[in-house]
């Protein structure tokens, strides 16, 4: 009988923000899989590191950093083939995913490739969005407010329109897009409503009003913006 593929969210960064289910699966894993980006260390693996059994086999998918989509898809093809071999051999495979597997997670590439042929189970994880709100001490949405989650790479006009029409906003993947995002938010008169958070829940975390944000933001950074549309107090 074939093994089961588990897409396991390991949460936003602090190892103890993993779920009990994720921890149990990782501790019992014979085969662990995860993607790395252009040869860099895996953040997901670093979160789970203390729980990975000494003898576990590791399937690493190294995803090249290119604008062209084909090389990344080829890396997932190759990874999916290795994972399929392990599943066919009867092993369960635990695939580690930062945050949540289906929330901007690369696990969806494996899910799409393997879901029809094998049993695939997804273990949801704490996302960076609620982790950032927790660390910022900043409620996200109450009552009948709407939450819009936007990726920082969006173009300026689209960002402006979406932010203007939204209530509570989380902007993910800030990184090199910070100057553009600052300009749009300032132009909409919303700077005083915006908080910048970087590497939430990790020891090196930064939480500051957007005005005090550093000039350079890493990929793992976010802007939370709430307009207080619903006066919930």
Which residues are near its own copies by CB under 8 A? 9, 11-12, 14-21, 23-24, 73, 100-105, 108-109, 111-112, 115, 120, 122-127, 130-131, 133-135, 137-151, 153-154, 162, 165, 232-233
Nearer to its own copies, 77 or 89 (CB): 77
Maximum separation of any 2 CA atoms in the chain, in Å: 60
Q: Tokens in use for 42?
A: 């895996």
β-partners of residue 59 are 33
Q: In whole angstroms, what is the distance from residue 160 CA to residue 162 CA? A: 6
Phi, psi of 225 (to 5 degrees): -140, 120
CB of 210 to its own copies, least distance (A): 18
Tokens 């901007």 correspond to 104
Q: How far is the CB of 131 from its own copies (least distance, A)?
A: 5
Question: Whose Cβ is closer to its own copies: residue 157's or residue 214's?
Answer: 157
Alpha carbon distance 233, 153 (integer Å)? 34
Nearer to its own copies, 3 or 124 (CB): 124
Cβ closer to its own copies: 104 or 219? 104
The two three-digit tokens of residue 214, written as one number:
């550093």
Least Cβ distance, residue 73 to its own copies (angstroms): 7
**Smallest distance from its own copies to CB 34, Å:** 17
Residue closer to its own copies (CB basis): 71 or 214: 71
Continuous segment of H or E residues that includes residue 4 = strand 4-9
The token pair that represents 154 in the structure block: 């969006």
**Using CA atoms, how far apart are residues 126 and 10, in angstroms rounded to an integer?**
8
Identify the helix (H) or strand (E) that includes residue 217. Answer: none
Shortest gap between Cβ of 142 and its own copies (angstroms)? 6
Nearer to its own copies, 57 or 162 (CB): 162
Shortest reach from residue 232's CB to its own copies, in Å: 7
- 25 and 10 Cβ atoms separated by less than 8 Å: no
């Amino acid at each position: 009988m074939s093994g089961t593929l588990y897409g396991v969210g390991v949460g936003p960064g602090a190892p103890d923000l993993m779920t009990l289910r994720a921890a149990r699966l990782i501790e019992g894993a014979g085969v662990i899989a995860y993607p790395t980006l252009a040869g860099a260390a895996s953040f997901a693996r670093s979160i789970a590191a203390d729980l990975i059994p000494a003898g576990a086999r590791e399937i690493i998918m190294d995803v090249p950093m290119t604008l062209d989509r084909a090389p990344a898809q080829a890396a997932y093809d190759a990874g999916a083939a290795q994972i399929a071999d392990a599943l066919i051999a009867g092993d369960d495979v635990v695939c580690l995913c930062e945050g949540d597997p289906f929330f901007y997670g690369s696990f969806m590439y494996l899910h799409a490739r393997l879901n029809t042929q094998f049993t695939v189970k997804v273990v949801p994880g704490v996302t960076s969005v609620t982790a950032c709100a927790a660390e910022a001490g900043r409620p996200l949405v109450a009552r009948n407010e709407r939450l819009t989650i936007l990726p920082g790479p969006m173009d300026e006009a689209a960002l402006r329109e979406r932010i203007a029409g939204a209530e509570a906003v989380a902007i993910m993947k800030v990184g090199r897009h910070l100057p553009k995002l600052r300009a749009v938010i300032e132009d909409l008169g919303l700077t005083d409503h915006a908080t910048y958070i970087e590497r939430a829940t990790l020891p090196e975390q930064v939480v500051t009003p957007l005005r005090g944000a550093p000039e350079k933001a890493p990929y793992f950074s976010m802007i939370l913006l709430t307009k207080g549309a619903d006066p919930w107090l």
